[in-house]
Structure 1
């Protein structure tokens, strides 16, 4: 495509094809379930506070754990109904041998600053319906920057899947500028799941399902955050896509069977269409050309657990849902009642596609596992996948365990914290001078019986032994989605 025409299309997508305006209908009654205090959010920034430590913290964990998630869930007696909706807050856990501290600070997006001044909600969000909202100029008018925080060069980026990355100043957590990757690319979706390649460069995508025909924007950035190349790819239909995967040669995206149509909100505009096959689209890393496209079993996926090539086979690991209930109804049910009983857990699955014949096989481990992590020093075929899971005794969507699974060895690992705990995404951090596969799992958790949040670290090869060290703060920190660990310099 001629560059001038391409830029015009990008400008159109960024400026006028924003996520549709919607409206909200609020409720003020809060159900009485003790774990819901983790979803109620907070009203102000959280100042620096020291944590109470237990056990011996590994020296490899000297550094900072950053996390991001929805935190402003209610204003002036009105509250959001969907977990996707809350304004993002960056959580900062600074870890050193002498002290562990926590600080939380809201991302000062356009939406947050305007609503903070007004003292009430004003703008549309993804999953809650409201009348008489303010006009939306572009996607970043409603950017809540609430999903992930990702380091690139000397920057930290607060990410949302519907708009631009937002720069965060690491030391202070102050909000910097919106990031544009090039001319005419302002306000384009830049997903919350960039992938850092072995050479330090970064791949990402952005879903644009609310235009016709639906499209996806593909990005490749240098290690310093400069745009190497990008492409606007037209899709056969607008399936929900949140994450993707890469191999040595390919970029792999999943156009799911949860398809965009019409609705009062962004999430309500999707419907689960089990009669429609999902599409696995394989693209060349060289130029983003489509290498192959495969129809696979209807699937809904938030998170991939990596992909690799095995001869003529493409192997894709993912946390797969059999339907889209978690996004379409369960998150609302949880916030409204405290329960989401009809929601299926994501199970760790492996999709194997023969790229010569096009035949695909889906292997489901049956093991509940979300927010996957693994040792990226190790070939994925050999690596264990870690994540959050359940003991089977907790309510749906209330993960109370750290779990692991190795496809090569067909081995499972578990550590269940027991009743009263909610477990969040683990970060795999290699042990000093270790072999691939040897490392620590660092994660946050919430003790809802005591209304306190904390950190835990487990030996990745000995999960069943439980934490080797923990740290607790005396306050409840809102549950989040994703984060990163940045080792201390020097």
Structure 2
């Protein structure tokens, strides 16, 4: 595992063996509680205090049948608790209605959104339009509850320490039964005076409706408690909306409506999963939706609709408002087309060369004129990008993301890159040839509780933007198990490698909760 500086891209051959990559696709076979973790290399930083929560598919096979796509796997939460240089691991499956039913039956009894079918061919799948809430996409803490998220339905509430499933939560009546609740909330660090969790739900169709919600993340004066809904609005737009992520600034929630069509007939007839019925509209561009946030400078105004560059976007890095130009700047990971796995393809044998890679692109939107300018920030295959949480919605200097080992072309993600968004300088830590990374989480170092002037605070904030750590799960193909790697966020040097007594398939998203 190495760290390199990469100022200019240079291509070279793929540095992985397929069997190392595909060996991660398996069932999680055990649930652990507060198992101590020891660093196999390096040492755990003594001032790293809090819990890293991770979510992802943990059950990929039942009764000898595999899911068609790993995104159809049941959600499994892993919690890594750090305190005074020690680390402890707990993991639990989310006890969803579907997980419990299929555990009892020993086979798939639900269809999967990404193509997994019940046994027996199209006939038993036809007209079965139930959605199995698999709670496998993200996990965040809101108030005293840990929420396991799946964007097509309500979250599941868990105990933050034991990870035991409490209930399918409607957030004290905020959600209606079955209402969509995004798996991609963003945490506003305090643009409107107090920190908030900003999220959305979408009801898609010929006309799609976005519900934008904001929740307090701390108790506030006036009786507002952590977890309370503090802002709520709805907006409708023409066209089918496939939205996985969005971005925020102090004034805007920024959505990108991808140019896709949805033909539900193969899903209704039991031939495909719902997501397999999506298709890009060749030659058509998407559209940015700039939705005013309550409390921002444009509160109460109508949304602004602006054409977007061609391409498909799952995830955004960040967004901010350029005070000098009045532009809204959005950094997103673009694909040339919607990446999907066909009905006859085994996901463990996919041809990476036939799938478009994600690349980081910046769009500068003038909401007054509708003009959009764009440029590439990173053309290396990348995904799962993030900034320091304190810079969410503000201009950030640094980004951390998972990248391919090769600097051109599509491959599995094997490295973590720190990108200087001002200079283009890159630092890369690599797990190649036998390691494969998932989403990195940047954990800021806690600042000393001292009084500063506004000028001192601004200068200090800039100087410490990359002060902290990057935590990333790595599939170790050499030992067919998962490692947790701790990197220094500033120079990407390896601080510790924790070899887990657990094999965890490639995960999706995670979050950091500070404190003990």
Partner of 2:500: 473
Counterpart-to-counterpart distance in 2, 1:93 and 1:451: 20
1:204 is aligned, of 199, 207, 213, to 199
Partner of 1:117: 104
Counterpart contact for 1:339–1:396, Cα < 8 Å:
no
1:34–1:436 Cα change, 3 Å: closer
2:413 is aligned, of 399, 402, 417, to 399
Counterpart contact for 2:398–2:465, Cα < 8 Å:
no
Aligned pairs for 1:119-158 (under 5 A) are 119-130=106-117, 131=122, 132-133=124-125, 139=131, 142-158=132-148
1:193 is aligned, of 177, 184, 198, to 184
Aligned pairs for 1:212-291 (under 5 A) are 212-223=206-217, 224-262=226-264, 263=266, 264-286=272-294, 290-291=302-303
1:336–1:457 Cα change, 3 Å: closer
1:55–1:44 Cα change, 3 Å: closer
SS of residue matched to 1:400 = strand
Partner of 1:3: none
C-alpha distance after superposition, 1:288-339 (max 9, x if no partner): 75331001112211211111111321100111212112xx228985624154
SS of residue matched to 2:405 = coil
Note if 1:52 corresponds to 2:38: yes
Note if 1:103 corresponds to 2:94: no
Bigger Cα displacement from structure 2, 213-222 vs 156-165:
213-222
Counterpart-to-counterpart distance in 1, 2:508 and 2:388: 20
1:459–1:317 Cα change, 3 Å: same
Counterpart contact for 2:261–2:279, Cα < 8 Å:
yes
SS of residue matched to 1:114 = helix
SS of residue matched to 1:163 = coil
Counterpart-to-counterpart distance in 2, 1:423 and 1:330: 25
Counterpart contact for 2:382–2:413, Cα < 8 Å:
no
SS of residue matched to 1:479 = coil
Alignment length, in residue pairs?
A: 452
TM-score, normalised by the number of residues in structure 1? 0.86
State the 1:401 CA deviation: 0.4
C-alpha distance after superposition, 1:331-377 (max 9, x if no partner): 98562415432112211111111222211112112133211111133
Note if 1:390 corresponds to 2:404: yes
Stretches of structure 1 lacking an aligned partner (at least 5 in a row): 1-30
Partner of 1:446: 475
Partner of 2:78: 91
For the aligned residues, what is the CA RMSD? 2.5
TM-score, normalised by the number of residues in structure 2? 0.82
State the 1:63 CA deviation: 2.3
SS of residue matched to 1:461 = coil
C-alpha distance after superposition, 1:409-464 (max 9, x if no partner): 2222212222010112111112243723322111111111211211111112212x
Aligned pairs for 1:402-413 (under 5 A) are 402-413=416-427
4+ aligned runs moved over 4 Å, structure 1: 133-139, 330-334, 393-397
1:414 is aligned, of 414, 424, 428, to 428
1:75 is aligned, of 62, 80, 91, to 62
Counterpart contact for 1:316–1:352, Cα < 8 Å:
yes
1:320 is aligned, of 318, 334, 345, to 334
SS of residue matched to 2:357 = coil
State the 1:232 CA deviation: 3.5
1:227–1:467 Cα change, 3 Å: same
Bigger Cα displacement from structure 2, 183-192 vs 351-360:
183-192
Counterpart-to-counterpart distance in 1, 2:496 and 2:183: 30
Note if 1:375 corresponds to 2:402: no
SS of residue matched to 1:60 = coil
State the 1:479 CA deviation: 1.6
Partner of 1:20: none
Partner of 1:292: 304
Bigger Cα displacement from structure 2, 249-258 vs 286-295:
286-295
